[in-house]
Structure 1
């Protein structure tokens, strides 16, 4: 597998700003180191042999939702970053908003693991 198209810091900051503009919330990065750590998570997994887009996308969402790097909008940004990563890598992934909300809330609350999110993505993967 060739190297995926990764999300960089500026892209995720733009995603966060867009989420706040759409849905409101306080602007600001609470801890840039935690954000950088979240963005490195999928690249680290890839470097150690994980090549599945579902797992790599879940790593983005998990890292952002659980590291809580922003003042506000962490869950929204986590889900949007996951979706943007999939789109950048030519995966047309769509789910109903109610399902998206439920899974990201459960992820942030620790009720769903990163592996659980990966399974959820695979279960909802686009059918050929």
Structure 2
């Protein structure tokens, strides 16, 4: 298994502050402990044994747990992209950003589950089209 590289809380906050400064919104964190918890938990190989599991939890938790006052969806995309980049998945970062734009909105609206999210992210990083079964699950989830 390849070594996984992580980033720290200061980097996460700095990225979030940059996002807010350049695209608007309410600056600051709501619960810094929650953000620290997410960044520590993804390091636990018992809970998150694969890179995909770690990335999925990172995106899900930043989006859903609202550690920041604003920009949680944007931060989940950018921090997920950075996690991909520092771990050698830079080939799919642009596609990840584009595809995750709608996915993070649906995730925030609780239309997409964490289980569906991991399947979508897997297809993105594997550079595969969504299989028919996954596309049907996505359409069904979003139409609810």
2:1 matched to 1:6?
no
Alpha carbons of 1:30 and 1:96: their partners in 2 closer, same or farther (altered >3 Å)? Answer: closer
For normalisation by structure 1, the TM-score amounts to 0.86
Superposition pairs of residues 46-57 of structure 1, within 5 angstroms = 46-48=45-47, 50-51=49-50, 53-57=51-55
Where structure 2 has 5 or more consecutive residues not aligned to the other structure, the ranges are: 128-144
Tell me what 2:84 maps to. 86
Over 4 Å off, 4+ runs: none
- Bigger RCO of structures 1 and 2 (CA < 8 A, at least 6 apart): 1
Tell me what 2:138 maps to. none
How many residues of Structure 1 are paired with residues of Structure 2 in the alignment?
126
Larger Rg: 2
Superposition pairs of residues 1-128 of structure 1, within 5 angstroms = 1-44=1-44, 46-48=45-47, 50-51=49-50, 53-91=51-89, 92-93=91-92, 94-95=94-95, 99-127=99-127
State how far apart, in whole Å, the 2-side matches of 1:126 and 1:20 are: 30
State how far apart, in whole Å, the 2-side matches of 1:60 and 1:103 are: 14
For normalisation by structure 2, the TM-score amounts to 0.77
Q: Compute the RMSD of aligned alpha carbons.
A: 2.1
State how far apart, in whole Å, the 2-side matches of 1:59 and 1:49 are: 8
Q: CA deviation at 1:112?
A: 1.4
SS at match of 1:36: helix
Q: CA deviation at 1:125?
A: 2.0
Q: CA deviation at 1:49?
A: 5.9
